[in-house]
Amino acid sequence: MTEESKTRRKKIQATDLMNKIMADYFYGLNEAATTGKQKVAWCTSVGPAELLRAMGFAVHFPENHAAMLGATRLATDLIPEANAVGYSPDICSYLTSDIGAYLKGFTPLAKAYPGIDSVPKPDVLVYNTNQCRDVQDWFAWYSRQLGVPCMGITSPKNVNEVTDSHIEDVAGQIQALIPVLEQISGNRLDLARSGKRWLCRGSAPNCGRRSWRRPWHRLRH
């Protein structure tokens, strides 16, 4: 091999910090689930994680777990497990690989983080169909398997102009989740706990215009 053709790997400076952030996150989730110190919610990628964190839940994202299955090249071994219980090979591979991993009792977290044996057992499953409808069926399946409640937000689809009716609809669905989730978490909703980054505080550029952030704004006023 000539000198020019050798691949040189250059370490990305942020790698160590990123690894620590991820390890802290997954060990924190594991501690919450195994000690019961903190309630655990599973959440879809588009949220409403803000709401869950504002009630003190530790939040696990099955889509994140499925991405790990893909990145570790295990998804193709696991998807057939979900196909065997009736899930079509044509639907989302995140869904089928994650359910396949559950059926096989497998998680890449166990290899990456010694001491973690499984994904954190949830106390509640919360979805938002904003990104796709599959997530509702994905979480409903886990609800039946694990015997935990499943609830969520059904977002309006194929919307061009966002109207007040759309905003009222989504805001109403978010608000309806609050008392149920407060009961499960044992904590009152504390929007300040959820952090400035996630919530419209009235000064965001889109505030006052027709934006999907407005349901969060409504919760504050």
If one asks whether residue 132 binds ligand SF4 (CB under 6 A), the answer comes out as yes
Q: Which is nearer to ligand SF4, 99 or 184 (CB)?
A: 99
Q: Which is nearer to ligand SF4, 68 or 132 (CB)?
A: 132
Residue 56 falls in which region: left (phi positive, over 0), alpha (psi -120 to 50) or beta: left
Q: Which residues, 79 to 108, sit near ligand SF4 by CB under 6 A?
A: 92, 94-95
Q: Is 127 helix (H, G, I), strand (E, B) or coil?
A: strand
Q: Which residues, 39 to 68, sit near ligand SF4 by CB under 6 A?
A: 45, 63
- Find the largest Cα–Cα distance for the chain: 67
Options 135, 167, 181, 184; binder of ligand SF4; rule CB under 6 A: 135
Q: Which is nearer to ligand SF4, 27 or 212 (CB)?
A: 212
In degrees and rounded to multiples of 5, residue 44 shows phi and psi of -80, 165
Beta 58-60 vs 40-43: how paired, if at all? parallel
Work out how close the CB of 93 gets to ligand SF4 at its nearest, in angstroms, rounded to a whole number.
Answer: 7
Options 77, 134, 137, 169; binder of ligand SF4; rule CB under 6 A: 134
Q: Which is nearer to ligand SF4, 87 or 216 (CB)?
A: 87
User: CA nearest 146: which of 118, 186, 182?
Assistant: 118
CA atoms within 13 A on the CB side of 68: 18
Q: Is 82 helix (H, G, I), strand (E, B) or coil?
A: helix
Site residues, ligand SF4 (CB under 6 A): 45, 63, 92, 94-95, 131-132, 134-135
